[in-house]
Chains A and B, each alone.
Chain A
Amino acid sequence: MTVTTDQEHRARPAGGSGSRKLLDTVLKVRELAIGAVLVVMLLATQLDNSDFLSQQGIKDLLLNATILVLVAVGQAMVVITRNVDLSVGSTLGISAFAAGDYLSGGGNPLVAVVLAVLLGAALGAVNGLLVSLGRVPALVVTLGTLYIIRGLDSVWVGSRQITASQLPSGFAGFGHDGLSVIPYLALLTAAVLVCVAYYLRAYRGGRDLYALGSNPEAARLAGVPVRRRILTAYVVCGALAGLAGALYLARFGNVDSGTGTGYELTVVSAVVVGGVAFTGGSGTVYGAALGALLLTSINSVLPSIGVSSVWVQAIDGFLLLLAIAVDRVVALRVADLLRKRAAETRSARHA
Chain B
Amino acid sequence: MSLGNSTVRRVTAVTAATAVMALGIAACGGTTKNSVAKSTPTAGNTASANPNAATRKGLTIAYLPKQVNNPYFTTSDNGGKKAVEALGEKYKEVGTSSGTDTAGQVSYVNSLTQQRVSAIAVSAQDPGALCTGLNQARKSGIKVVTYDSDTNPGCRDVAISQASSVDLGRTEVQLMAQQIGDKGQIAILSAAQTATNQNTWIGYMKDELKKPQYKNVKLVKIAYGNDDAQQSFQQTQGLLQQYPNLKGIISPTTVGIKAAAQYLSGSKYKGKVKLTGLGQPNDMRSYVANGTVQAFELWDPAKLGALAGYAAIALASGQISGAPGQTFTAGDMGKYTIGANSVVVLGKPTVFNKSNIANFHF
Is there a direct interface between A and B, measured as CB atoms under 8 Å apart in the complex? yes
In the complex, how many angstroms separate the beta carbon of A77 from the nearest chain B beta carbon? 24
In the complex, how many angstroms separate the beta carbon of A143 from the nearest chain B beta carbon? 16
Which residues of B, 272-300, contact A by the 8 Å Cβ criterion?
Answer: 282-283, 285-287, 289
B237 and A303 form a contact (CB under 8 A): yes
Asked whether A157 and B223 contact (CB < 8 A) given A163-B282, A254-B262, A304-B242, the answer is no
Check: B193 CB closer than 8 A to any chain A CB. Answer: yes
User: What string of 1s and 0s marks CB contacts (under 8 Å) between B26-57 and chain A?
Assistant: 00000000000000000000000000000000
Asked whether A159 and B68 contact (CB < 8 A) given A51-B244, A164-B262, the answer is yes
Check: B361 CB closer than 8 A to any chain A CB. Answer: no
The interface-forming segment of A56-64, A117-125, A130-138 is A56-64
Contacts of B259 in A (CB 8 A): 252, 254
Q: How far is the CA of A228 from the CA of B98 in the complex (A)?
A: 37
| In-complex Cβ contact of B238 among A177, A253, A259, A300 (8 A) | A300
The interface-forming segment of A34-42, A214-222, A305-313 is A305-313
In the complex, how many angstroms separate the beta carbon of A346 from the nearest chain B beta carbon? 29
Check: A52 CB closer than 8 A to any chain B CB. Answer: yes
Contacts of B71 in A (CB 8 A): 159-161, 256
In the complex, how many angstroms separate the beta carbon of B247 from the nearest chain A beta carbon? 15
The interface-forming segment of B145-153, B228-236, B314-322 is B228-236
Q: How far is the CA of A296 from the CA of B231 in the complex (A)?
A: 10
Check: B156 CB closer than 8 A to any chain A CB. Answer: no
Contacts of A160 in B (CB 8 A): 71
In the complex, how many angstroms separate the beta carbon of B72 from the nearest chain A beta carbon? 9
Contacts of A165 in B (CB 8 A): 282, 285-286, 289
Contacts of A4 in B (CB 8 A): none
Q: How far is the CA of A154 from the CA of B68 in the complex (A)?
A: 10
Contacts of B350 in A (CB 8 A): none
Closest to A150 in B: B97
Which residues of A, 195-241, contact B by the 8 Å Cβ criterion?
Answer: none
B237 and A300 form a contact (CB under 8 A): yes
Check: A49 CB closer than 8 A to any chain B CB. Answer: yes
In the complex, how many angstroms separate the beta carbon of A264 from the nearest chain B beta carbon? 14
Which residues of B, 63-77, contact A by the 8 Å Cβ criterion?
Answer: 68-71, 73-74
A252 and B262 form a contact (CB under 8 A): yes
Check: B267 CB closer than 8 A to any chain A CB. Answer: yes
Q: How far is the CA of A299 from the CA of B241 in the complex (A)?
A: 13
Check: A176 CB closer than 8 A to any chain B CB. Answer: yes
Check: A158 CB closer than 8 A to any chain B CB. Answer: yes
User: What string of 1s and 0s marks CB contacts (under 8 Å) between A20-32 and chain B?
Assistant: 0000000000000
Which residues of A, 125-173, contact B by the 8 Å Cβ criterion?
Answer: 154, 157-161, 163-165, 172-173
A258 and B234 form a contact (CB under 8 A): no
Q: How far is the CA of A312 from the CA of B238 in the complex (A)?
A: 13
Check: A91 CB closer than 8 A to any chain B CB. Answer: no
Asked whether A300 and B234 contact (CB < 8 A) given A252-B229, A310-B193, the answer is yes
In the complex, how many angstroms separate the beta carbon of A250 from the nearest chain B beta carbon? 10
User: What string of 1s and 0s marks CB contacts (under 8 Å) between A96-111 and chain B?
Assistant: 0000000000000000
| In-complex Cβ contact of A254 among B69, B258, B267, B268 (8 A) | B258
A254 and B224 form a contact (CB under 8 A): no
B69 and A304 form a contact (CB under 8 A): no
Check: A5 CB closer than 8 A to any chain B CB. Answer: no
Q: How large is the interface on B (under 10, 10 to 19, 20 to 34, 35 or more residues)?
A: 35 or more
Closest to B288 in A: A165
Check: B266 CB closer than 8 A to any chain A CB. Answer: yes
A305 and B224 form a contact (CB under 8 A): no
Contacts of A74 in B (CB 8 A): none
Check: A275 CB closer than 8 A to any chain B CB. Answer: no
Q: How far is the CA of A157 from the CA of B289 in the complex (A)?
A: 27
Asked whether A158 and B267 contact (CB < 8 A) given A254-B283, A257-B97, the answer is no
B239 and A56 form a contact (CB under 8 A): no
B235 and A309 form a contact (CB under 8 A): yes
Contacts of A306 in B (CB 8 A): 221, 242
Q: How far is the CA of A160 from the CA of B283 in the complex (A)?
A: 12
Contacts of B230 in A (CB 8 A): 252
Asked whether A303 and B238 contact (CB < 8 A) given A154-B69, A159-B71, the answer is yes
A157 and B258 form a contact (CB under 8 A): no
Contacts of B289 in A (CB 8 A): 165
Contacts of A172 in B (CB 8 A): 266
Q: How far is the CA of A168 from the CA of B246 in the complex (A)?
A: 31
A303 and B285 form a contact (CB under 8 A): no
Asked whether A258 and B224 contact (CB < 8 A) given A60-B237, A163-B286, A304-B237, the answer is no
B286 and A304 form a contact (CB under 8 A): no
Closest to A304 in B: B241
A159 and B234 form a contact (CB under 8 A): no
Asked whether A52 and B241 contact (CB < 8 A) given A159-B74, A163-B282, the answer is yes
In the complex, how many angstroms separate the beta carbon of B64 from the nearest chain A beta carbon? 15
User: What string of 1s and 0s marks CB contacts (under 8 Å) between B238-255 and chain A?
Assistant: 111110100000000000
Between A and B, 28 residue pairs with Cβ closer than 8 Å are A49-B241, A56-B268, A56-B269, A64-B233, A158-B74, A159-B69, A159-B74, A161-B71, A163-B282, A163-B283, A163-B286, A165-B289, A176-B267, A252-B229, A252-B230, A252-B233, A252-B262, A254-B229, A254-B262, A256-B71, A258-B97, A296-B234, A300-B238, A303-B237, A304-B237, A309-B224, A309-B226, A310-B224
| 10 interchain residue pairs of minimum CB distance | A303-B238, A176-B266, A159-B74, A165-B286, A304-B241, A257-B69, A164-B286, A165-B285, A304-B238, A159-B69
Q: Which residues does A use to contact B, with CB under 8 Å?
A: 49, 51-52, 54-57, 60, 64, 154, 157-161, 163-165, 172-173, 175-177, 252-254, 256-259, 261, 296, 299-300, 302-306, 308-310
**Known contacts A296-B234, A304-B237, A309-B224; can you find 5 more A-B pairs with CB under 8 A?**
A159-B68, A165-B285, A254-B229, A300-B234, A303-B234
